[in-house]
Amino acid sequence: MNPQIMLMLLRLALVVVPWILKRLDQPSKAREAEDNLKSAMRDHQEKQGEGSIQNREAHKKIEDDLKDKAKEKWK
Amino acid sequence: MLRMILLIVALAAGCTTAALPSVLPFDAVTQTSSSFSHPRRSLPWSYGGVSYVGVDILHRQSRMSIDFQIPPDTVLFTLQSCSRDITVVRPKAGAFRWDYTPFLFLESQDPCYVEATAYLSNGGQVSGMFDVSNTFQLGATLYCNGDRTKPSGGAWCQVRAGRLLWLSFAEEVVEAHAEGCPAPTPSRQLGHTFEIASAAGRCEYGFRSRSGENFRLTVWGWDSILDLGRLK
């Protein structure tokens, strides 16, 4: 084969192959992003969080204890 | 000629498809069960021109504009208070302003912790936590994680679980703490001073002076420098 044609084909391949790679990678990246989001949502669903309203009961007990102790100490 | 080009294209496509893994590495990670320990809170945020990292306590206002710094590659950002759960899907990296108007009574009683979490695309998490209070009364000196501060009425201390912290008052106080939290011990060196060994997780302590002024200390003891989430 003519070396000039070979060189032209090689140059063409250098352009075409990265383009194909990029195109092929797009669906997998989209799928990965979707998976990441689903996992994050699942994590968030599992995590009760510290903002729980149940903290109020513990806080109320501390306040009651403080009042009792203060009354006892400085009666 | 055209046949040659088509052959090269076909070969390149075939090689690329074969080179792609059938199962992405991330899939393997997501199959591990997540266990939430007590990570160091490291989300940066700011309020009223003051920058914070992780945790703190704020003076309650009727309307509060809080700027969170969302890390790059965040797929989900959540805000949880004692009465709400806000989720933002695929937020932009950088500053995210949240205009927080604490509900009267519902969110204006102590405590109502607000927890912000950025879930990253690699499975890790970055979080911050704060509380708002309007019971700023009694002054104290807090020795926490190498810093000595003089908060008034309330303070957060974030420190590695097991480390010691000191809280010192100018007058005599009584103390009460949440069940399961290490009891503060009076210091032998300084008067009106308590030494507290931090436990993993959140612990709340209350102090009251003779005149009835209160001080609230929240300790976040972390046992994991990073919140690895699903990467554990």
The pLDDT of residue B13: 45
Fold of B141-222: Immunoglobulin-like (2.60.40)
Q: Residue B19: is its pLDDT beyond 60?
A: no
Average pLDDT of B117-122? 93
* B46 band by pLDDT with thresholds 50, 70 and 90: very high
For residue A46, the chain B residues in CB contact (below 8 A) are: 34, 36
Classified as helix, coil or strand, B109 is coil
pLDDT of residue A15: 94
| Chain-chain contact of A37 with B20 (C-beta, under 8 angstroms) | no
Can you give the pLDDT at residue B229?
A: 62
Judged against a pLDDT cut of 60, whether residue B208 lies above it is answered with yes
Looking at residue B30, its pLDDT comes to 30
Nearest-Cα distance to chain A for B170, in Å, is: 17
pLDDT in tens, chain A (75 residues): 788 999 999 999 999 999 998 888 888 888 888 999 999 999 888 887 776 666 788 888 999 999 999 999 987
Q: Which of A44, A52, A70 sits opposite B87 (nearest CB)?
A: A44
Question: Looking at beta carbons, which residues of chain B come within 8 Å of A24?
Answer: 13, 16-17, 20
- B30/chain A closest Cα distance in angstroms: 7
- Going from the C-alpha of B217 to that of each of A40, A48, B12, B114, B164, the distances in angstroms are 31, 22, 64, 16, 14
B220 phi/psi in degrees, rounded to 5: -110, 110
The per-residue pLDDT for B2 is 52
Q: Is the pLDDT of residue B230 over 80?
A: no
**Contact call for A20 and B9, based on CB within 8 A:** yes
- Percent of chain B exceeding pLDDT 90 equals 61
Question: Which candidate in B57, B115, B209, B210 is best for mutational testing of the A interface (most A CBs within 10 A)?
Answer: B115
Q: Could you tell me which residue, B193 or B104, shows the higher pLDDT?
A: B193
What number of C-beta contacts closer than 8 Å exist between A and B?
130
With contact defined as beta carbons under 8 Å apart, do B137 and B153 qualify? yes
Question: What is the total residue count of chain A?
Answer: 75
pLDDT of residue B87: 94
**In a mutagenesis test of the B interface, which of A62, A64, A69, A75 is the best target, namely the one with the most B β-carbons within 10 Å?**
A62
Confidence at B15, pLDDT banded by 50, 70, 90? very low
Interface predicted TM-score (ipTM) over 0.85: no
Q: Which residues of B touch A33 (CB under 8 A)?
A: 75, 121
Four-residue CA torsion sign, B201, B206, B115, B95? negative
Query: How close A14 comes to chain B (CA, Å)?
Result: 10
Q: How far apart are CA B28 and CA B153, in angstroms?
A: 48
Position B22 scores a pLDDT of 32
- Encoding tokens for residue B213? 């002024």
In this complex, do A58 and B90 lie within 8 Å of one another by their Cβ atoms?
no
Segment among B25-34, B97-106, B120-129 with least mean pLDDT: B25-34
Q: What is the pLDDT of residue B26?
A: 29
The answer to whether residue B163 scores a pLDDT higher than 90 is yes
CATH superfamily to which B44-134 belongs: Immunoglobulins (2.60.40.10)
pLDDT at B228: 66
Which of A47, A59, A69 lies at the smallest CB-CB distance from B174?
A69
B3 pLDDT band, cuts 50/70/90, is low
B12:A50 CB<8 A: no
**Chain B neighbors of A32, CB-CB under 8 A:** 24, 26, 121
pLDDT at B5: 53
Domains B44-134 and B141-222 share a fold: yes
Q: Where along chain B do its domains lie?
A: 44-134, 141-222
The nearest CA of chain A is from the CA of B122 a distance in Å of 7
**Using 50, 70 and 90 to split pLDDT, how confident is the model at B23?**
very low
- The yes-or-no verdict on residue B74 having pLDDT over 70 is yes
Nearest by CB: A40 against B109, B119, B174: B119
Instruction: Looking at the complex, report in whole angstroms how far the Cα of residue B184 sits from the nearest Cα belonging to chain A.
Output: 14
**Across B111-138, average pLDDT:** 88
